[in-house]
Amino acid sequence: MIGRTCTHCGAHLISPRLVCPTCRHEITQLAERIFPALEIQPSSDTQETSPAVTVIIPSYNSESTIRATLSSVIAQDFEEPFEVIVVDSSSDETPAIISQAFPQVQLIHRGQQTDPGTARNLGIAQARGEIIACLDSDCAAPADWLQRMVNAQRAGHPIVGGSVENGNPEKTLAWAGFMGEFREFIAIGEPRLVQHQPTCNISYHRSIFTRFGGFPTSFYPQEDLLFHWRLGQQGIPIWFDPGITVRHTHRVEWRPYLQHQRRIGHITAQVLELTGDEGAFLARSPLLSILVAPILPLVKFSRTLTHFVNWRPQIVRRHWGALPLLLMGLYAWVIGFVAGAWDDPLRVPLRESFSHLATEQSISK
C-alpha cells in the first residue's frame, strides 16, 4: 500500500488502510481483496419450504464439545422451521458424531483445515433462512436463544449479538481465557448498540452478506472484528442484548492457551494497521511497539481487572487464581502484537473464491 493514492480524493497513503484518512472514502480495491463476494442461495419461494433461520456452526476437531453444542441447538424452544449447517474440517471423530447422532444437521465436510471465517462463508452461501445465526462448536445455547435472536431481528435490528459466559467454570485457566477475551461481552447493562460482537453469539439478516460480502479469510481469529468494523463504517451497528447468552468452553491446556493469545495479538495488530482504530499508532510503528511491550500487558491487565471488579466482582473474588494466568496470556498477546506490527497485513493472498460452492459436498442432511 505504500505509495498508493486514494482514487476518491487523491490523498497519498503511507500505510495500509481500508478507509482514506482524508476523505473517509472506502478504498474499494483493498476492500475487494479482503472481503470475498458470496454467491448466496436464493430463499425458497414459499414460507412453507423456507426456514426462518439458518444456524451456522464452523467446526474443527470438536469431538469433545460438538454434542453439547448441537444438542442445545436442536432443543431450541422455537416453533418456526430452522436449519442447522455445520462446516467441519476435523481430522477427529467430529463428522462421525454429527452424522450418527444428528442426522437432521446438514454437514459440509472439508478435507483440509478451514478457518472459521471461510467456514462461515461456505455455510452462508448455502443458507436458506432470512436470518443467519452463528454459534461456535465450543458453545452451548439456552433453549430461548433462537427465539430471542429472531425477536430482536424482527424488531428492526439487522445484526444482533449477545453475551458470553464461561462454559467450563471448574477450570482456572478457562477463567483466564474468559476474562482476557470476553470482558466486553458479559451479561451486564441494558440492550444497546455496539460496534463489535464475537461471532460465537450473533445473527445477521441475510441482506448483510449480499451487500457486503463475507468474512475476510486471512485474519483469524479477528476476522469478525474486521468485518464488523467495515459494517460500522457503513453506519450499521450491532444490537447487543445481554439477555441473549451462550456458554463458551475455553482452552484448558497451557500451550494452546498461550498460542491462541499470541495469535490474537498478532492479527489484532494487522487489523489495526488497516482500520486505524485505537492502538493503530503502535501497530503502524514497529519500533514503538517494542518499546512499550513490557508495560502494555500491565495496561491491558489493569483495564480487565477494573472492568470485572466494577461489574462482576464475584468472579475476581472466587477465581483470583486466574489473574496471574491472565497476565501471562497478555504477555503472549503482546509478543504476537509486536510480531504483527512488523508484519505486512497484505503479504498473503487475501481473497478466496467462493464460486466453487456447488462442488462442496453435504454428507449429512
Write the CATH number for 87. Answer: 3.90.550.10
Q: Domain of 191? A: 35-364
Quick one: which of 177, 185, 184, 315 has its CA closest to 251? 177
Q: Is 235 left (phi over 0), alpha (psi -120 to 50) or beta?
A: left
Same domain, 308 and 265: yes
Same domain, yes or no: 25 and 48? no
Report how far residue 342's alpha carbon sits from residue 147's, in angstroms, rounded to the nearest whole number.
45
For the record, the C-alpha cell of 361 comes out as: 459436498
For residues 108 and 184, membership in a common domain is answered with: yes
Same domain for 141 and 24: no
Q: What's the whole-model pTM score?
A: 0.92
The verdict on 145 and 186 lying in the same domain is yes
267 in the Ramachandran plot: left (φ > 0), alpha (ψ -120 to 50) or beta?
alpha
Domain identity same for 63 and 16? no
Give pLDDT tens digits along the chain (365 positions). 344 677 788 888 777 788 888 887 887 778 888 899 888 876 654 555 789 999 999 999 999 999 999 999 999 999 999 999 999 999 999 999 999 999 999 999 999 999 999 999 999 999 999 999 999 999 999 999 999 999 999 999 999 999 999 999 999 999 999 999 999 999 999 999 999 999 999 999 999 999 999 999 999 999 999 999 999 999 999 999 999 999 999 999 999 999 999 999 999 999 999 998 999 999 999 999 999 999 999 999 999 999 999 999 999 999 999 999 999 999 999 999 999 999 988 775 545 544 444 344 455 44
Q: What residue type is assigned to position 132 of the chain?
A: I
158 shares a domain with 28: no
Is the domain of 125 the same as that of 60?
yes
Same domain, 21 and 78: no
- My answer on whether 9 and 127 are in the same domain is no
Domain count for the chain, please give it. 2
Q: How far apart are CA 343 and CA 327, in angstroms?
A: 24
Statement to judge: residues 148 and 234 lie in one domain:
yes
